[in-house]
Amino acid sequence: MDTENLLHKADLSPSELAKAMLNRHVGDNVETLNNLEIEQAAPVLAALPVERAVEILDQPEFFGGPELIASLPAAHAAALLNAMSADRAADIVRLLPEDTAPLVLAVLDDESRSAIQRLLVYPEDTAGGLMTTEFVSVPSNFTVGQTLEHIRHVERTRETVYAIYVLDPATKRLVQMVTLRRLISADPSAPILSAARESKPITVTPQTDREEVGRLFRKYDLLAVPVVDHFGHVLGIVTVDDAIDAMLQESSEDVQKFGGMEAIDKPYLQMGFGAMIKKRAGWLCVLFLSEMLTASAMQSFEAELEKAIVLTLFVPLIMSSGGNSGSQATSLLIRSLALQELRLRDWWRVAIRELPTGIVLGSFLGIIGIARIAIWQSAGLYDYGPHWQLVALTVGTALIGIVTFGSMAGSMLPFILKRAGFDPASASAPFVATLVDVTGLVIYFSVALVILRGTLL
């Protein structure tokens, strides 16, 4: 039975719905509970066997984990968290209400509580916040056979066995990493270090940003990366699925910022009305105040507008063209900086590239603008006056300057923000468009003063 049909069986009680979910794939069960309100999903989750409920809670695609855990009795919530992977349990506890989290932590078993509290120390956007403390390690004096036997005993208590981490028996520092593939193909009587690669293992610190963690996974084609302290002790590992989830979340945040709002940390339909207003109102007010500069710019050219009303016809055209060119450049540069295709020191190379690009693109638009005025005038669709050729030249020339400025401003702003320590994604499309709008008006009317002086002005 698919999710839609299952949800439409309104006569099913929570226990009956839970029973119907027992033989379904965990992904389908996640989709089912995601489509239920919290007060409907809570009794269904409570009716499921612990191992099946944990399967659902462990999925990053399941959005209601913290709310459901908070709605369950503390003892039941603790039983689920005890059975979950430590990193996912920590993610849920981190989002629990302040008055609920201590109650749940108090009834956890000592091992789970300790693991979760260690993970909660680190910000969620760092390697420490992404890592799990469930990994397999062996001393460097083990043989391959001893290691395989050790894995058989501990596999049930470990989230994943992508690799085995070889530690110094005396200092417990990381010595090497052995992939499961190389371990299985090695001679059981050989030392464990004989199955390790010659290269030094790739590691990160707990404070490493999640974007950098994702870059290392891409660069070195990793399945897991150990998180070590400054002494070289392994604190945990970040697995590839957690790295992918983090990269998707980072991309989502960048897209939201680029749209001119604060990043949201919940699915759209789960965001409260007040929280949604809070996330969007701040940026809207900032952008509105910035756009007021556009009115100020037009007021400063009020006399020219009174003499040549025809110029106002092209203000929307001028403003949108500059904003569009700036947004294009910003989009390209933010993505390139995020993928580390560009460094801060490359700003001058970008400027040299964007300057002629802006001139050529502006020329294209300028020619189209001039052609449009000429066609409308000759076809009798609109009369731009006796000096329509000069009006067309003004529009065409202004477009070259405005599109060029938009391209330069849009490409340099991400570098400026990154150099100042801000997220380049904060250079949102609306922000760039606002900046170029104001400057575009100044360029437009300045060009008009030069070309139309002595005729319309």
DSSP designation for 333? H
The rounded distance, in Å, linking the Cα atoms of 69 and 83 is 13
Instruction: Check residue 231 and give its pLDDT.
Output: 92
pLDDT digits 0-9 by tens, 156-183: 555 567 889 999 999 999 999 998 889 9
Beta-bridge partner residues of 239: 224
The whole-number pLDDT of residue 128 equals 92
- What is the rounded average pLDDT of the residues 229-249? 87
Based on DSSP, count helices (H) and strands (E) in the chain, helices before strands.
21, 5
Higher pLDDT among residues 415 and 295, named by residue: 415
pTM for this model (two decimals)? 0.66
Which candidate, 4, 57, 6, places its Cα nearest to that of 30? 57
> What is the per-residue pLDDT across 18-70, written as a single tens digit (0 to 9) for each?
888 888 888 888 888 888 888 888 899 989 999 999 999 988 788 888 888 88
Question: Residue 410 in contact with residue 329, Cβ under 8 Å?
Answer: yes
Q: What is the DSSP string of 395-436?
A: HHHHHHHHHHHHHHHHHHHHHHHHHTTS-GGGS-HHHHHHHH
**What pLDDT score was predicted for residue 197?**
81
Ordered alpha helix ranges (H), 48-186: 50-57, 65-71, 74-83, 86-94, 101-106, 110-120, 127-130, 144-154, 180-185
The bridge status of strand 163-167 relative to strand 136-139 is: parallel
Question: What's the Cα-to-Cα distance from 174 to each of 136, 145, 256, 308, 320, rounded to whole Å?
Answer: 12, 20, 39, 76, 57
Which string of b and e fits 171-198 if b means at least 16 CB within 10 Å? eeebbbbbbbebbeebeeeebbeebbee
Note the pLDDT tens digit of each residue in 67-105: 888 888 888 888 899 888 888 888 888 888 888 888 888
Q: Collapsing DSSP states into helix, strand and coil, what is residue 226?
A: strand
User: Using 50, 70 and 90 to split pLDDT, how confident is the model at 268?
Assistant: low
Average pLDDT over residues 363-386: 92
Q: Is 354 exposed, middle or buried (0-12, 13-18, 19+ CB in 10 A)?
A: buried
Q: What percent of the chain has pLDDT over 70?
A: 90
Give the strand pairing for 234-239 and 224-228. antiparallel
Q: What's the pLDDT score for residue 261?
A: 62
Domains along the sequence of the chain with CATH:
3-121 (1.25.60.10), 136-244 (3.10.580.10), 271-451 (1.10.357.20)
Bridge partners (DSSP) of residue 204 are 227
Q: Which residues of 205-241 are buried (b: 16+ CB within 10 A; e: fewer)?
A: ebebebbebbbbbeeeebbbbbbbeeeeebbbbbbbe
| Whether the predicted pLDDT of 17 surpasses 70 | yes
Question: Can you tell me the distance from the alpha carbon of 393 to that of 447, in angstroms, rounded to the nearest whole number?
Answer: 9
